[in-house]
Structure formats: C-alpha cells, structure tokens
Structure 1
Amino acid sequence: MAQHDNEPNFPFPILIGDIGGTNARFAILVDAHSEPKAFPNVATADFATIDEAIQTSVLDKTSLQPRSAILAVAGPVDGDEIDLTNCPWVVRPKQMIAELGFNEVVVVNDFAAQALAVASLDESHRHQIGKGRIEPHASRIVLGPGTGLGVAGLVYAQRRWIPVPGEGGHIDMGPRSKRDFEIFPHLEQIDGRISAEQLLCGRGIVNIYRAICAADGRDASLSTPADITTAGLAGEEPAAETLRLFATYLGRCAGDLALIFMAQGGVYLAGGISQKVIKALEGPEFRAAFEDKAPHQGLLSAMPTFVMTHPLAALSGLAAYARTPGLFGIAIEGRHWKRGGL
C-alpha cells in the first residue's frame, strides 16, 4: 500500500456513527481486524441531542470506552458547531471530547461515508439494475433517496479513493414528457423551484403522488411514503404510477450526474428507499431515463447502475476508513478535533 504524508491513525476502540435526518446508526470497532459491533438504530426525534443519544444508546450499553469517534452527518461540516440539515441536532466535537471521553473526533459528510462504502463493499452487497460493466479505477457516483437526497462522487487518484461530497440533491428538475407537463404544476415547490430532493426522497414520493391525484382530479387517499410504496408495489394506481415516475426521475438525475463525473466505475443507489423499491427500479423506466441522454446514449448504456444492499453501508464505509485511512483521501483539516487541541 502506498504511504502518504500526515496519514491519520485513529486510536481504537473507535465509535462510528451515521447520522441522518430521521435515524442514527452507531457501532464500535474494537480493532483493525474486527467487524463493527452495531447497536440498535436510534430515532433522532427520541433524543434532544446527539450526545444524549450516544450516551444512552451506546456508552451505557457496553463496557467498551471508545477512544475515537468518526461520525458521518447529514449536512455540511463547517466549524465547531455542525448543524444537521433535516434534524435539530447540533454536533459539538469539543463538547463530546470533554463530556463523552473521546480523545479524538472526526466529522465527515454522510455521503462521504456512502462513497467510502461504494469503494469498499464487494459484489455481494450490490444489486445490478440493467447492463453495463465496472471500470475498476474510474469515477463513481452514489445517490441516496432518504429523508432528503444525498449525492457524492468518488474519484481514484494517487492510489487512493477520494470522496467528493456536495449538495447535488438540490439541482433543478424540470418537466420533459407530456405527463410531466400535466403533473409538474401541482408539485410542491421551494421558492419557486423544484429540486431533485423535492421528488427523490420520502416526502418526494408523497409530492409526486399528490400531484398525480391533483392532475387527474382524484382524492389523495394515501399520506405516507410507506403506504404509497406498499400500494405501488402491489400495482394499485395511482401509487404504481408514482413509483414509475420516481424511477424515471431518479434515472434522469443519476444519468446527469454520471455524465458530470464520467462515472464509468458505476452509479450506486444507497439508502432504505432504494432497497425497498428495487422491483420498481427493475422496470424499464429507470434505465431508459438513465440512458436517454442524446448524443451520449452509448456512453450511458455502458455505465452500470446498482442498488447497494448492505443494511448498514455507511457504517461499513466508515469502518473501512477507520481501519486503513491511507486507502482513502478524506480531507479532515477543520473536521478533526483532539483532546487538548494537539
């Protein structure tokens, strides 16, 4: 393995955490050779702070005292107080060191962790949708419909994988087909625009469903993403059309991002929603929309698309980074706190 200057070396045991808008997942990595010891998922609404959640759900449940913490959070990492985008928790690493007993804390974007998983998971944890072949060291993209829409790129350079997180879920989406032009006027907007996240997440499923009902003059009898998804997978209209359009819009968005990153290493769909709607994604709509990028249909048709099926993919990615940080190019300047400021 290539050596790099200033490679971090985190002391074990290491607490790893994947904190989203709705749920938080934690595990402890005892050493570089062990599998993560996972704890039950935590609903962020059940705890006032992340510190309380860690203390109650992890530290009080084990005799292990983690010396380090590597946390992936749904939001931009900036400064000593890190706000989550879709959750009222605020991550304060210095306070964690003072009160929870860590010597070091690293905080990264949650989709950096998903990108790490893309680089480290084997084929048993990915389900291919359509055709295409992975180019081993080519760029990759990960998208995750969940509470919001997370997006990250992954590039290979200097013998390491480098995650490129961003806010790609907030790019514009517009109507294209005749049906789109019937539905889009009824979609809920944010400041006059429809972003990808307005369609490609849990509330996006509800947004599409309500717009279909409004366009067709029907009552919107279903109100939750779970109910709409269940009905859609059972073939009940208009929920089934909702899933077909969801797959179409996800394919369009994924294809755009694949072109931006030239993702010949593959496009990877993360998160629980992607896993739940695999049946819908295997229909013709997703790949057709993904490849329909004239004049580059041939380029897109050769790019593989996958659903990541590991139940705790982000934690797996963080564990891979914790074991061998030198294999991954994560910039931790400004995202790494140590006891005593050393």
Structure 2
Amino acid sequence: MANAVDYAIVADIGGTNARFSRVNLASLALDKVAVYPCATFASLADALQHYQLEQQLTALKHVAIAIACPVTGDNVSMTNFHWHFSISAMQRQLGLKRLLVMNDFTAVAMCLPALSSNDKVQIGQGAAQHNQPMAVLGAGTGLGVAHLVNVDNKFIPLPGEGGHVDWAAQTEQEWFIQQVLSKEYGHVSPERLLSGPGLEAIYRALALHRRLDVAPLSAGEIGNLALAGSSELATATVAQFFASLGSIAGNLALTLSTFGGVYVAGGIAPKLLPLMAASEFRTRFEAKGRFSAFNRQIATYIVTAPQPGLLGAAVYLKQSLAS
C-alpha cells in the first residue's frame, strides 16, 4: 500500500464502552485489546491517550475510530453519551498523521468481506453472491443499520439511520405493543424494540397484554431467563424480538437488493443465538408478499466475530491508506 504502515490503532466507541486495539494492517490481526467504560474519561481524546500510554503505543500515528453516532462532518456528537469533538482538532491535539472517524455501523459494514466462515452463522436458506450489495443491522444500546457495495473493487459503506424509521405492527400482539410504546415515546421506531431498552420495552408491553403483574427486568435478565427456559414471558419477549428483527432485515434486503447477504451484528442476537433458529426471524424475513420469492434467495447471517467494529475500522483504514 502507498505510504505503507505496519501497525495502527483502531477503536470502537459505543454508548457505554470504548474498545481499543492495535492492528496489523497486513494481516488485519488485532491485539492489545482494551475495553474502558466511557464514563471513566472526560473525552474521547483522553481515552485514546490513556490507551496509547498504557499499551506503550504512542509511536503509532494512524488511528481509525468507529463511533455510535452520525459522522457527517468535522464535528461529532455522540447520540447516547456526552462526548463531542472536532476530528481535525483532535488530530492536531494528538499529533496524528491520519485520524479516520466513521459511524460504528459503517465499520461493521466494512468488516463483512473480511469475515471468515467461523465469524458468522447462517440462518435459513439463501446463498450470498460475490460482489453484490450487503446489509447489516445490529441491536445493542441502539439499532445500527448500514449497507455495503463494491465499486471497482473498492468497498463503499452506506451508513444510515435506518433504526429510526417507522416500525410497522403486523399482528394483534404487535398492535398492542405499538399502542403501549406510542404512549411512552410518541414515534415508534424499530430501535424502540430492537435494542437492549427495546427488549425491556417488549417485556413490559407483553406483561400488560397478558395482564401480568411483574417487576421490570433488564435486557440481560430477560435474555438469561429465556435462554434457561425458566420464564414464559421472557421467552415470548425474545420470540417477538426475533420476529421484528426478521421483518426489518427483510426490509433492508428489499431496499438495496442485497444479494451479498444480510448480516445481524450487535451484542444481543449472538448471545440469544440458541433461540434464533426456532424463531420467526427467517419466516418474517421472507414474508414480503409478492416479493417473498425474491427475499428467499438472500442469505442471512449472525455475525459472531468478537470485535466486528474494530475489524471493520481496520479494513476501512487499510483501504484508505492504499488509495
């Protein structure tokens, strides 16, 4: 690559945790991974400097950062945390030769071509076609959405805020959930269901629907109960989560004809993977009326790679340095 760089630093900044790693840009191997609570630091620059000092990486001057918010210009302000910064000012402050900042799901999209067969699990039928558009969505603190296209052997990520479109109820149970969430939030987007807070919201709404008096639970508690099979309400909550996830994934497939596959990332789906095969995820993915046969051809995968955001940031930086 032009101006060859052996190693760089990559980061994946979420609403709760900041992940950092060194990357070998030849092999894309990650090491020296460190995870810090964002609340530990006053700014992203402070967190990055701490990582460099702790890991003795102050000599590395190329950095790529994936962050959980829109990145549309020089000024970046996180959606679910208080960090905000100027990219150019931070680059000058830290003395970096290159600072590449991207939306977190831009990075996840960029990791898709680098995933091995051990980094993903296929759900249902369909076959991914080489060099065709891909889509990725992932539930965690929020719902991230992006697409990826190949243009002249260069991958172009298409970030967006698809988690904030309108959510459409399709069953009587979903109509009830929509009414509950509409009273609470006003606009009901897919993120209101397909996220950690979304799991908790579904649980509350289903308890009301079934006239059950239950204490609120965290997303982690709901998931653990469902995996253990020890709570019918938690099991129903996860089932609804996967049904809605399948519908939204199917919408993304139709939007850009993603014959390269639709990939589900984020922290929630991989953890609940044992419950996914028996869910309505794939059925709802394909349930698109006259275009059901169209979606039936498209493969769906769960991304199980441990650090897809870090890997994607590394892929994007490597491509950037080579161009």
User: Residues 13 and 190 (structure 1 numbering): CA distance in 2 closer, same or farther, change over 3 Å?
Assistant: farther
- Residues 1:145 and 2:164 are matched in the alignment: no
Match of 1:268 in 2: 263
Determine which of 123, 131, 146 is the counterpart of 2:125: 131
Distance 2:170 2:261 in 1: 25
Q: Secondary structure at the match of 2:311?
A: helix
Shift of 1:100: 2.3
Distance 1:190 1:85 in 2: 20
- Residues 1:323 and 2:318 are matched in the alignment: yes
User: Residues 190 and 32 (structure 1 numbering): CA distance in 2 closer, same or farther, change over 3 Å?
Assistant: farther
**Is the CA contact (8 Å cut-off) linking 1:8 and 1:325 kept in structure 2?**
no
**Is the CA contact (8 Å cut-off) linking 2:28 and 2:314 kept in structure 1?**
no
* Superposition map of 1:140-179 within 5 A: 140-179=134-173
Distance 1:113 1:212 in 2: 34
Match of 1:300 in 2: 295
Match of 1:203 in 2: 197
Letter in 1 for 2:274: K
- Residues 1:89 and 2:83 are matched in the alignment: yes
Letter in 2 for 1:109: N
Determine which of 30, 53, 56 is the counterpart of 1:36: 30
1:72-108 Cα offsets, whole Å, 9 max, x none, are 1111113332101111111332332333231221111
Letter in 1 for 2:195: C
Match of 1:117 in 2: 111
**Is the CA contact (8 Å cut-off) linking 2:108 and 2:136 kept in structure 1?**
yes
**Is the CA contact (8 Å cut-off) linking 2:123 and 2:301 kept in structure 1?**
yes
Shift of 1:285: 0.8
Q: Secondary structure at the match of 1:115?
A: helix
Letter in 2 for 1:284: S
Q: Secondary structure at the match of 2:34?
A: coil
Match of 1:256 in 2: 251
Aligned length, in residue pairs: 322
- Residues 1:313 and 2:308 are matched in the alignment: yes
Shift of 1:54: 1.3
Distance 1:327 1:11 in 2: 10
Give me the TM-score of the superposition, normalised by structure 1. 0.88
**Is the CA contact (8 Å cut-off) linking 1:186 and 1:215 kept in structure 2?**
no
User: Residues 8 and 165 (structure 1 numbering): CA distance in 2 closer, same or farther, change over 3 Å?
Assistant: farther
Q: Secondary structure at the match of 1:238?
A: helix
Distance 1:155 1:47 in 2: 36
Determine which of 272, 284, 294 is the counterpart of 2:279: 284
Shift of 1:57: 3.0
**Structure 1: unaligned runs, 5 residues or longer:** 1-6, 329-342
Runs (4+) of structure 1 moved beyond 6 Å?
none
Match of 1:333 in 2: none
Q: Which moved more, 1:138-147 or 1:71-80?
A: 71-80
User: Residues 101 and 13 (structure 1 numbering): CA distance in 2 closer, same or farther, change over 3 Å?
Assistant: farther
Give me the TM-score of the superposition, normalised by structure 2. 0.93
Match of 2:49 in 1: 55
RMSD of aligned Cα (Å): 2.1
Shift of 1:9: 5.0
Match of 1:331 in 2: none
Q: Which moved more, 1:143-152 or 1:155-164?
A: 155-164
Shift of 1:56: 1.9
Shift of 1:320: 2.4
Match of 1:336 in 2: none
Letter in 2 for 1:207: A
Q: Secondary structure at the match of 1:69?
A: strand
Once the two structures are aligned, what percentage of the paired residues are identical?
35
